[in-house]
Amino acid sequence: MTNSKARPVVTATVGYMCLALSIWMYSMPNAAWFSKLYGHGIAMLYPLGIVLGVMGILSFIQGRSLDSIIFFGGTGLLWSMQLYFISATTADALDPRSYSGWYYFIWAVFFCYVWIGSFKSGLVRTLFLLGLWLTLLAIAIGHWGNLHSIMVVGGYLGLITAILAAITSAEEVISFGMKGEDREATTA
């Protein structure tokens, strides 16, 4: 017999870890740790986007609307970024920085209003969403103004945001395990 309370823990744990991994890898070049996003970072966007989409569907089915919205938004963001990276194989195929700025700005607006809707969801989730939309906004401004310093700020905000996503992921499974509910499910 499976414990129905375990399912929301699994979706939140896996979903936020997908976000943590992808945001971390994408933020390192923006924080000027590396000159660009390399193959491993690009390669993980597609599979993590798929897993995140599945977690979004499961969260929706479980009635966890906020997580579902976050995961579906993350799926759109990751999948579109991955498709862009594989389609832009030459410098001529890259978008103008002002156009890229609009891309990141639209995503910042989306995650901003999701953040506004998250105020009763717990401090870490709220801080994660705050960090996510501010990261995307900083990257948008950096692209619009060709401002390397703002891009670096966005990169460091992204790294902090990735840590908050990892904390949310860990918090879900650790608090569940501390209650001992998983052991009850396996013995029932």
According to the model, what pLDDT value does residue 184 have? 45
Whole-structure pTM value: 0.86
Domain boundary assignment for the chain: 6-95+149-181
| Cβ-contact 74, 19 below 8 angstroms | yes
Across 37-41, 45-49, 144-148, least confident range: 37-41
- Those residues whose C-beta lies under 8 Å from the C-beta of residue 163, and which sit 6 or more positions away, are 20, 24
Q: DSSP code of 93?
A: G
Residue appearing with tokens 């896996």: 14
According to the model, what pLDDT value does residue 90 have? 62
| Cβ-contact 140, 155 below 8 angstroms | no
- Give 34 or 88, the one with higher predicted confidence: 34
Give mean pLDDT, residues 6-19: 84
Is the pLDDT at 114 greater than 60, yes or no? yes
- Those residues whose C-beta lies under 8 Å from the C-beta of residue 88, and which sit 6 or more positions away, are 94, 95
According to the model, what pLDDT value does residue 187 have? 41
Give mean pLDDT, residues 101-117: 96
According to the model, what pLDDT value does residue 27 have? 94
Is the pLDDT at 147 greater than 80, yes or no? yes
